[in-house]
Structure 1
């Protein structure tokens, strides 16, 4: 039996993500939580003829406790969406508080659950989650994931259009670092199968992977951000975690994680100078089984990108830790 929870299930990411999880044959129970509309979303999804039993909860009447109790995996897309001219950092003050409250609930009601953080800015919200879990005495680095899969999905898609591959998922491209702007570093040199990117297209391709979110925000003309592609990416990662927990082998996906607590993580921490970093993670029954070091194999072009990544990420991570250790005055 697998109980999955979506916290922020009524939003632009939450609804399509919940739909995808309802369609997943691996999920037996799907609990939805949000501050508005969740019973309606749950009722709508409950009519779909797949095995998962769907329930919807609001904050009143111990809704968060009821949603989280017994959860095996908790996916968190909760928060406000990014608007035009708004950076992921602008979202910080609002979304940081939302994530902190939800993680406090997880620590209390389902401390052994696998936690997948989608809420932006991931570079800061994952350190926030780690600090909250540490304070509660239930932090397991192997079970806290920052979902950076959308960057991988974009890299696969954009490369496929350049090289003429009709099935983008046949391209395996490590995308490492963080999950915003220059902290996103695609390692095209380590693509499998290998790909040849024309030199006159490389910089534009890197920029498109790094700032693909801006492309969507602009195209939606102020009407939203990357919700559908993010829902797909969140589901892709969640499904891999569920399959790995059930015993499937060989599942690897990059994720933004606290590396000192993961096998293979220490060498990456030493190379980057950062405890939180996204690298390909081998998934297993306990969550993150192994962090795969692709940093040391970066080429000269990628090393320059990584230098900018390290500097930006350091500040993002510190901001998240600081938010919990020294809460802002209300």
Structure 2
């Protein structure tokens, strides 16, 4: 049986960690691409040499050339400059837009039937650009942010309540930035609504920390986070290559859902073997609608800035 082929563009911390996780979970053969001579080759070889210990059978290849990516089932794009302390995700837009255009030219030529998972920041604008540049149908283009933002939100709740993260169910709407919209009203712990377990003040503190979760790590590390982003990438890859039909938050193209037209933004979707198979619409109250609208407006402004 032929294994799925997963190409990861960008062999930095996020891309290389995602490659390791995808291989160790045996999601498919992995191609790691980067412009830095020797870096993707070395990291791919290093991951492969861990396979006897981690007990996985996957082929790993590193390259500067997209020829190795031919026939990929999934292409993950992490390429771009990372954040540094004091920078917002939006500060990266000009440089990363040029990189995204270059990557999409190669992907369109070498991997025309692939699913695209965009990770480069500012996320929502980059996935919008990737969709325009690739011409791929909307079900095959998505952004990884909601899974990461929700993972941070769930982690903070579990720590506050001293419970297993497995019992915390939640999701985050909106753009991947300070305007993201965690939804306490739809958050449960072992089936118990979060507002029944924590005060409004504690919930708001967790929501605020979630919004600033990336900046908190950047301040400590001096660069962007990579373990949680890489794990979040692999959850989406797994949903596609194993047709899991997962309900996950992702940056998807809305065409009328939530009253949004023509914008990629974080919403809950059904993610399976056909990519984004459905955008799941939920009822929002007035406060949630207002917060979501603010986030969507910010995403629109970034997309408009791309021209």
Q: Counterpart in 2 of 1:170?
A: 167
Could you tell me whether the CA contact under 8 Å between 2:93 and 2:121 is conserved in 1?
yes
Could you tell me whether the CA contact under 8 Å between 1:26 and 1:242 is conserved in 2?
yes
- For 2:304 and 2:123, locate their aligned partners in 1 and report how far apart those are by CA, in whole Å: 13
**Higher strand residue share:** 2
Q: Counterpart in 2 of 1:314?
A: 300
What aligned pairs does 1:255-274 form with structure 2 within 5 A after superposition?
255-260=250-255, 266-268=256-258, 270=259, 272=260
Q: Counterpart in 2 of 1:145?
A: 142
- For 1:121 and 1:67, locate their aligned partners in 2 and report how far apart those are by CA, in whole Å: 27
1:74-118 alpha-carbon deviations (Å, 9 max, x no partner): 111111110011111111111111111111111111111011000
1:175-233 alpha-carbon deviations (Å, 9 max, x no partner): 11111111x1111101242212311123222211111111101122xx31212221121
1:4 is the counterpart of 2:6: yes
Q: Counterpart in 2 of 1:69?
A: 70
Provide TM-score, normalisation by structure 1.
0.84
Q: Counterpart in 2 of 1:326?
A: none
Could you tell me whether the CA contact under 8 Å between 1:252 and 1:280 is conserved in 2?
yes
- For 1:67 and 1:188, locate their aligned partners in 2 and report how far apart those are by CA, in whole Å: 44
What aligned pairs does 1:116-155 form with structure 2 within 5 A after superposition?
116-134=117-135, 139-148=136-145, 149-155=147-153
Could you tell me whether the CA contact under 8 Å between 2:257 and 2:279 is conserved in 1?
no
- For 2:116 and 2:167, locate their aligned partners in 1 and report how far apart those are by CA, in whole Å: 27
Point out where structure 2 has 5 or more consecutive residues left out of the alignment: none
Q: Counterpart in 1 of 2:30?
A: 30
Q: Counterpart in 2 of 1:199?
A: 200
- For 1:169 and 1:231, locate their aligned partners in 2 and report how far apart those are by CA, in whole Å: 19
- For 2:208 and 2:114, locate their aligned partners in 1 and report how far apart those are by CA, in whole Å: 35
Post-superposition shift, 1:285? 2.2
- For 2:203 and 2:168, locate their aligned partners in 1 and report how far apart those are by CA, in whole Å: 16
**Structure 1 residues 169, 76: closer, same or farther in 2, change over 3 A?**
farther
**Structure 1 residues 26, 231: closer, same or farther in 2, change over 3 A?**
closer
For the aligned residues, what is the CA RMSD?
1.6
What aligned pairs does 1:1-330 form with structure 2 within 5 A after superposition?
1-9=3-11, 11-27=12-28, 29-36=29-36, 37-47=39-49, 48-49=51-52, 50-58=56-64, 63-64=65-66, 66-134=67-135, 139-148=136-145, 149-166=147-164, 168-182=165-179, 184-192=180-188, 193=191, 194-196=193-195, 197-220=198-221, 223-244=222-243, 248=244, 250-260=245-255, 266-268=256-258, 270=259, 272=260, 275-294=263-282, 297-320=283-306, 322=307
- For 2:70 and 2:203, locate their aligned partners in 1 and report how far apart those are by CA, in whole Å: 47
Point out where structure 1 has 5 or more consecutive residues left out of the alignment: 261-265, 323-330
Provide TM-score, normalisation by structure 2.
0.90
Could you tell me whether the CA contact under 8 Å between 1:124 and 1:319 is conserved in 2?
no
Provide the secondary structure at the position in 1 that maps to 2:120.
Answer: coil
1:230-288 alpha-carbon deviations (Å, 9 max, x no partner): 112112222222221xxx3x41111101123xxxxx332x2x45632211111222111
Aligned residues: 293
- For 2:257 and 2:293, locate their aligned partners in 1 and report how far apart those are by CA, in whole Å: 17
Could you tell me whether the CA contact under 8 Å between 2:240 and 2:274 is conserved in 1?
no
Could you tell me whether the CA contact under 8 Å between 1:213 and 1:225 is conserved in 2?
yes
- For 1:235 and 1:26, locate their aligned partners in 2 and report how far apart those are by CA, in whole Å: 8
